[in-house]
Structure 1
């Protein structure tokens, strides 16, 4: 089993796709890593030998910020915005969309599911 940057890569996927399971590595970064190490992108993770895994691990650890370090860096940036009181920091703190999206409708991902007000009566029409 290939374990790189603290992540167990899925055994039956191609290594090109398997590397994207590491937080901070996308498809383009994965292709660059494979080109630098000389590993065939079509190889399945379970078919990798120890030398290939070691080369991939060394490349990722030396040239890429991934997993815990990257998550910590992102959290520190958000905390900095909130501490200095920027608009973006306040939006993060309140759990609202940060980049100017509308909130009257949509925004369910950030705001969560809303409860309806029960027993509210409409004003009688004349």
Structure 2
């Protein structure tokens, strides 16, 4: 069973995503509310996949993605973005994100993104 770290500054978004991924058969090992927390929890739990919100306080998702990839080049990170953040999504993919999910979350799309990312 794949182990996930969910990163989003909104508790409601973390809760929504956690329910969708656990319903799909994945285990959520940790939740982070900003990029710095995501890095710390990544090092602590070594999850198989990270979902990373782009816009967060303290450290945004792109900065956290870069730091996680520097620590572990094999890290699998799926970015989560609101509509209208396409340029940031392109930036994230160039910096090593494996996929992206657009909010509001669509359950079949989330499953597809996670499965695709884990096969890489």
TM-score normalised by structure 2 residue count: 0.22
Structure ranking higher on relative contact order (CA contacts 8 Å, 6+ apart): 2
Q: Which has the larger radius of gyration?
A: 1
Structure with more strand by fraction: 2
Q: What's the TM-score once normalised by structure 1's chain length?
A: 0.21
